[in-house]
Chain A
Amino acid sequence: MTVTEQPQQNADHPADPAQPTPADQRVPVAELVRTRLGEVALTEPVKALLKEALGDSETGETSTVGRIYLESVAVARFRGIGPRALLKLSPRPGVNLVVGRNGSGKSSIAEGIETAFTGVNMRWQGQHATRSSNWRNLHDTDGRPEIEVKLAIEGDTGRSTLTRTWEGDDFDDSQAELKRPGHGRAPLDQVDWKQALRDFRPFLSYVDLDRMISGKPSEMYDSIATILGLGQLSAADGRLRPEAKALEDADKVAKAELPGLKEALYELEDDDRAVQALVAVDTAGTPDFETVEALIAGLPADTGDGLLARLRAEAEVRGPEMAQVRTTVDRLRRALADVEDLRGTGTEDALQRAELLERAVAHNDRHPDAASCPVCGTDGMLDAAWAADAIAQIAALRQEAEAAAGARSELRSAARAVQDLVHTPLRIPSALADPWRAWTACRTISDPDELARRAHEAAATLADACAAVKANAVRELEKRDERWRGLVIRLAGWAERARAVEANKPRLRDIRKASTWIKTLAAELRKQRMEGFADQSQRIWERLRQESNIDLKAVSLKGSEKANVRKLVMDVSVDGQEASALSVMSQGEQHSLALSLFLPRAATADSPFGFIVIDDPVQSMDPAKVNGLAQVLHELGEHRQVVVFTHDTRLQRAFTSQDLPVTVFEVERAESSKVKVKPVTDPVRQALDDARAIASTSDLPTAARTHVLPSLCRIALENAFLEAAWIRHHRSGAPEHTLQAAVGSADKLMKVAALALFGDAGRTGDVYGKLRSLCGPRAVDLLKQCQDGAHAAGAQITDPHGFVDDIETMAQKVRKPEVTV
């Protein structure tokens, strides 16, 4: 049995919120990531990467919408429901039981809620059309089926309405619209909790549980992993992956290319470009890209000792220009001939004779009458005729001398011109050494005749040799160039890729760091959250297992989210023997296990849904387990609005017999699918009923009336205030824990009243005044009498029934918060 087995767990009073479930203590992933990002020592680029990767994810999703609670569900002409049936709930945490016989229409309401949100229904999914075809009500066919769910969204002062309608007869063809105050109308597909609806599905039916527990291990893993909230992280990592992969692949390609390239370069070892390239490419660490690129651009190498330099020198070798040689040697020959022609005609002699004759003519001019020669004395010789002849002779002699001088100077100049043709380059290819020496030797030949002879011969020999050497070198070079060109293209391609890889290295490093950071965080969170989750599962299992001899020892996730072999591992032991969970469990036990696994899911902090709808969880449970289930649901109900549909009256009894607060509705079905939902009890009514039971007990001692009755009434008022306080608090969007603090405080009633009336726990001093105006002049006295029950003197109540009536009136008034915007 339940309560007695875990006395320590009973220590927390049902109304005592001091021990929230681990799920609620958890911070949503998005928030956690933000905090962590602020703390860690990461470089800015890595942080930027992380922000970008995490930013677009669903991270924001859960935070944009406040927690959602159900306020009412209206179902019309759907399944077993004909005219509109309305289930009105208090939009706040707490357990609601919707009880009805099989076929009363309660399941239609449960399915209606699910269908309103999802458009599909798990129960029918994958089933044959004949079973799902009767989704429309058979009786009421006048109008269209319609489901309307009113929602209280945290921070919203007004209510949102979710409406699903059908145009035709196809169940899958429906439209849903959400009308939210301040947001207008929008198709449900566009609301931002669409993904959350899939991840945290706040609907659990018996079929769901069956399916979950009978799924593949990897499917079970996924459904648990999703709720750990790590999907966001893994999505962020997924966003980083493609770029990292591209960069890694580029690196791999460049690396894979290298051996082939090196081999090709080795083959050209007689080409120093190849050798240089090889050295540059093979540099440890970063390749010497500058050298590689210079080689690709074809810039001359700095060093010039290699074969290639020799070939290049040979190719560039310039021998004597034969045409020029020929012309110059011809000139020399002509000059030689001219000099030969003038041989014997001494230039000097002719000049002296000319000078002598000039002087004689001058003497004759000075002494015209002296007819004799001053040299030989002969007379009559130096006359005018002589003078004229002498002048003519002077001119001829001078001309003759000039011609001789010219011919000699021309010969010298022509010889020099020939010798000037001889040039000696710095490097003479060895094959040309001899002919070049012969050619060079021409410079030192002084005899023009010999020069003329040998110069032409040496030049011709050298020119031929040069042409031969050059042709050979050019051929060799071309051969090498062709191979090199092929390589250069390869080298250039590689260099471009390798350079890109090199340039992207910091980026890749950053991405890897970001990815590692995410993975580390994910692993840490998975472990930490899974522990919390497993704890809850085990706690729930302990409540539900009752006399089962099966111990749920551990629940863990094996493998990461992307691993193929990932699975949910449930370690159980049967009477101390380890076993596989599913093979040793009975149907009822498996069902309990499924609840143990999937109830914590509904309470996960990341879920925007404050409610969970459970259809028929009691099936196949033996009586003792039902008590445990009530405890489990009650705990869940401390932080979630739990709506349980059941045909089993044992569950309600389990709540009341264990003093657990609960709101109960009864579903009744009249003819023609008229379904009515009737409120039966709630925590306020439970306390009032208790008070009435005391009031009706005739033979009760006075003390019971003075102390017990007011205490019970006080509980009724407290519960009424709490309901109002909660709803007002939720509207304001304020954090839940401030409310919890007020509820947990010593001055609980007044603080909760202040919260209910003003939304401010500090305004306890204004409570009486407000109560008077709200509930009439007697309200304060009534409240005081309730409080007096706890004191020694007690409260003097003369008319117990009247007192309870008054308290009921007051409670009904205060439980509905005024809408103050």
Chain B
Amino acid sequence: MSTPTISVEELLLTADQLLAARTGATAAGRHRGASLALRTALEISIDRVLDAAVPGLAGTTMRAKMLCLHCYTTAKTARRTNAVWSHLCLGCHYHQYEIGPTHDQVRTWRTEVGELVGTLTL
């Protein structure tokens, strides 16, 4: 793949804006929004890697995609991707017993996704 597409960049930018914003929605809401943007950016990147390797692979379930990713990228990248994706999924949803992700948490996810998006396009 060449450069990241504009949409991935846009999503990362959205996440950044949500993290930086001081007004608007509640903090928890903004953190969840940022998580969603980051997860989508990550999923787009995953699809690209998989589609480039096996056309049509991006159309399958996320679980299968995560498993397939091990075959088409380094084990380390696959694991990092899986881990941060799992965490983002938790961050996106409202869980009855869990408080939403903190600012710092989303910030670290943002950094990780930023790095992975770069790595996954290689």
Contacts and interface: CB of A to CB of B under 8 A. Distances in A.
Contacts of A700: 57, 60, 64
A522 B70 CA distance: 48
B98 A623 contact: yes
B71 A7 contact: no
Contact of B83 (A3, A11, A701, A711): A3
- Chain B: number of interface residues, binned into ranges: 20 to 34
A547 B104 CA distance: 7
Contacts of B84: 3-4
Contact of A547 (B90, B102, B112): B102
A590 interface: no
B29 interface: no
A708 B76 contact: no
A428 interface: no
A711 B57 CA distance: 16
Interface stretch (A25-33, A383-391, A691-699): A691-699
Contacts of B82: 657-659
Nearest to B74: A13
Given A1-B108, A704-B54, A658 B60 contact: no
Given A659-B82, A711-B71, A13 B76 contact: yes
Contact of A704 (B68, B108, B115): B68
A681 to B, nearest CB: 15
A659 B71 contact: no
A547 B105 contact: yes
Interface in B31-64: 53-57, 59-61, 63-64
B60 A711 contact: no
A653 B79 CA distance: 15
A627 interface: yes
A693 B112 contact: no
Nearest to A16: B75
Contact of A4 (B54, B71, B108): B108
A318 B87 CA distance: 121
Interface in A671-721: 690, 693-694, 697, 699-701, 703-704, 707-708, 711-712
Contact of A708 (B56, B71, B104): B71
A711 B70 CA distance: 9
Given A1-B109, A699-B59, A701-B55, A693 B64 contact: yes
B86 interface: yes
Interface string A1-19: 1111101001101100000
B93 interface: no
Given A3-B112, A5-B108, A703-B57, A690 B83 contact: no
A707 B71 contact: yes
Interface in B76-92: 76, 79-80, 82-84, 86-87, 90
Contacts of B104: 547
B122 interface: no
A697 B60 contact: yes
Given A657-B86, A700-B60, A13 B79 contact: yes
Contacts of B90: 623
Contacts of B28: none
A65 interface: no
A547 B108 CA distance: 10
Contacts of A1: 87, 105, 108-109
A89 interface: no
A697 to B, nearest CB: 4
A778 to B, nearest CB: 24
Contacts of A711: 70-71
B87 A10 contact: no
Given A694-B64, A701-B57, 9 more contacts: A4-B112, A10-B80, A11-B76, A547-B102, A658-B82, A701-B54, A704-B64, A704-B68, A708-B68
3 smallest A-B Cβ distances: which pairs? A657-B86, A4-B112, A703-B54
19 contacts: A3-B112, A10-B79, A547-B105, A623-B90, A624-B102, A658-B82, A659-B82, A690-B67, A694-B64, A694-B67, A697-B61, A697-B64, A699-B60, A701-B57, A703-B53, A703-B57, A711-B70, A711-B71, A789-B71
